[in-house]
């Protein structure tokens, strides 16, 4: 229930604007994502989880994340919601191409 409420908080108009601005500032750069997006995402989560007994700081968010992680394997719905939450503030990860077709092989000299 708390996890669904956290996800819902990200879609609130004021929070969506905050996240969009942070993403724009980050320019899809992982270092800048940590600098701009993660703090906003943490604040949005803090606003929700404090009503459920978690401390209103980074440690509270970490405890919440660890608790969610501990239930992911037991409950497919929690695993699904956790994935949705991560997708809200982590950029999609693309792996660099490998193999001869991508120029990934080294020519013998």
* pLDDT tens column, 60-87: 999 999 999 999 999 999 999 999 988 8
Distance CA 72, CA 78 (A): 5
Q: What's the token pair of residue 89?
A: 């503030």
Q: Is 105 helix (H, G, I), strand (E, B) or coil?
A: coil
What does residue 77 show for φ and ψ, rounded to 5 degrees?
-65, -40
Distance CA 31, CA 47 (A): 24
Mean pLDDT over 94-104 rounds to 55
Instruction: Identify whether the C-beta of residue 89 lies closer than 8 Å to the C-beta of residue 38.
Output: yes
- 15-29, 75-89, 95-109: lowest mean pLDDT where? 95-109
Distance CA 61, CA 37 (A): 15
Please, which pLDDT band fits residue 89 given cuts at 50, 70 and 90?
confident
Please, which pLDDT band fits residue 109 given cuts at 50, 70 and 90?
very low
Query: pLDDT digit string (tens) for 29-62?
Result: 888 888 999 899 999 999 999 999 999 888 999 9
Count of H-run helices and E-run strands, the chain: 6, 0
| Cα 27–chain centre separation | 16
pLDDT of residue 94: 59
């Amino acid at each position: 229930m708390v996890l669904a409420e956290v996800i819902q908080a990200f879609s609130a108009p004021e929070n969506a604007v905050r996240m969009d601005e942070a993403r724009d500032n980050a320019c899809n750069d992982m270092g800048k994502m940590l600098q701009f997006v993660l703090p906003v995402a943490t604040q949005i989560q803090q606003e929700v989880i404090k009503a459920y007994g978690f401390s209103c700081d980074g440690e509270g968010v970490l405890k919440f994340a660890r608790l969610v992680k501990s239930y992911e394997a037991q409950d497919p719905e929690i695993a699904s919601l956790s994935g949705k939450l991560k997708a809200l503030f982590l950029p999609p990860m693309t792996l660099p191409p490998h193999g001869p077709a991508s120029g990934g092989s080294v020519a013998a000299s």
